[in-house]
Structures are given as C-alpha cells and as structure tokens.
Amino acid sequence: MIVLKAADLTKSYGSTPALQGASLEVERGEILALMGPSGSGKSTMLHCLAGIFKPDSGEVWFEGRRVDTMGDRERTALRRTAFGFVFQFGQLVPELTAADNIALPLLLDGVRRRTAYAKAGDWFARLGLEGLEGRRMGELSGGQAQRVAVGRALVTGPAVLFADEPTGALDSLTSENVMDLLVDTVRAEGSTVVLVTHDARVAAHADRRVTVRDGKVVSGVRV
C-alpha cells in the first residue's frame, strides 16, 4: 500500500532549480533511502514529502490526503501528529534535559505532563540511555544525543519518520550503532522511513534505494 506519493515535483530557490519533475512512491512500512550527490535535490524532495516546503508545482499525497494544497496550520498539525523527524545535528533543545526533549512533542500536542513524561521515560531503556534522563545535551556524547533525537521522533508513534543525514555528524562505529537502533525500533513500531544519505553504509539498512540526480528520481533498486 502506498503511504506517500510525489508526482512531477518542481522546486526552485530563486533561479536555481532543485527539483525538476521528480516523482516517487513510498510503500507503507518500508525503509527508503534517497541517495545522490550534493545538490541533487534529495533533501528538497524529503522536505516536500514532509510538508515542510511547498513545491512550485506537482502533487504530494499522504494516505489519500493532498499535502501540497494544505494551509500552513494543517501541515504543521500533520508534521506534529503523523510525522517524526531526525536531522544530522539532532536539533534538540540544549537547555532541556533528555527527558524534556523526548516529551516535548507530546507536550506540544496537549498531552498531560505526567502522561508525556511517562511515555518519554519508556524510551530510555529501549534506546540504551538508562540513567541519562536528567542530562542536558552538552552532557551527552554525539551518539547518545542522536538516540535522544530518535526517541523524540518516535514518541508520538508517527506513521512516517523522515531522517535527513541522521548519522552525518557521527563516527563510523557510532553511526552503525545508531542506524541499527533506528531500524530495529521502526520495525517494531511499524513506521515508514524516508532516509536521505550520501553514505552507502547507511543506505544499506534500507529496503529500497532511490537515486536523485539533477532534481529527478533517476533509478531505484530493492535491496
């Protein structure tokens, strides 16, 4: 079953084209890696699929709903409830503790504080972070902080996890450990993953690899 679909997307930044008629379908429950050289349009594709950017033309669909025609408020609500995000540098709030960061999406969605922190607390054992609930981001290693980012992304039970170079700031061993954890967790949760990476070792965790070049999807292979 197709959960996400992009059809003939175009997107430019000023006079510079990023997407030039890109199309893609993502199946429910699969881990899809978007690959390509720097500037190929793969991150722009992810941001359009996630409703962060609106394409200049073309269509984006999520579970039968047209995303690109939604207003800002509706797309924000969709990102908060149905989508999760992990970025290269985590984008965690440094002033907050690890528990605060994981609970934050629930609190923003109106979940009661006690319930939000109970749900956040459940993730620390799953992420191998027991005892670190009260640590702030500057007190965690890069791998630990990225695990917190994974927990924050998944605590709401999103249908789709978007990951943009999620291990790009980590060394190779930590990268492998974080990817193993991410894959095992999303498999258990039944989430769909759209992953942007230039690293073949990271892409090897995917079910399918798609190459983006010059703003178009040019090839794909099931692993």
3-state secondary structure 4-73: EEEEEEEEEECCEEEEEEEEEEEECCCEEEEECCCCCCHHHHHHHHCCCCCCCEEEEEECCEECCCCCHH
Q: Which residues of 37-60 are buried (b: 16+ CB within 10 A; e: fewer)?
A: eeebbbbbbbbbbbbebbbeebeb
Beta strands 31-35 and 192-196 are parallel
> What pLDDT is attached to residue 173?
82
Give the helix/strand (H/E) hosting 7. Answer: strand 2-13
Distance, in Å, from the CA atom of 70 to the CA atom of 24, rounded to the nearest integer, reads 20
Identify each DSSP E strand in 80-214 by its residue range. Answer: 83-87, 160-164, 192-196, 208-213
Q: How many residues does the chain have?
A: 223
Evaluate whether 87 touches 115 at the Cβ level (below 8 Å): no
Give me the pLDDT at residue 88, please. 74
Residue 121 structure tokens: 């607390």
Distances from the Cα of 164 to the Cα of 15, 45, 85, 175, 209, angstroms: 24, 11, 8, 13, 14
pLDDT in tens, 115-127: 999 999 999 988 8
* pTM score, whole prediction: 0.90
The tokens describing 62, both together, are 């999520």
Specify whether the CB–CB gap between 15 and 177 falls below 8 A: no
List, in order of start, the domains of the chain with CATH numbers. 1-82+159-223 (3.40.50.300), 93-157 (no CATH)
pLDDT by 10s per residue, the chain, length 223: 899 999 999 999 999 999 999 999 999 999 999 999 888 999 999 999 999 999 999 999 999 999 999 999 999 999 988 999 988 765 899 999 999 999 999 998 899 999 999 999 999 988 889 999 999 989 998 889 888 998 999 999 999 999 998 887 778 888 888 888 888 888 888 899 999 998 888 899 999 999 999 999 987 666 6
pLDDT at 41: 94
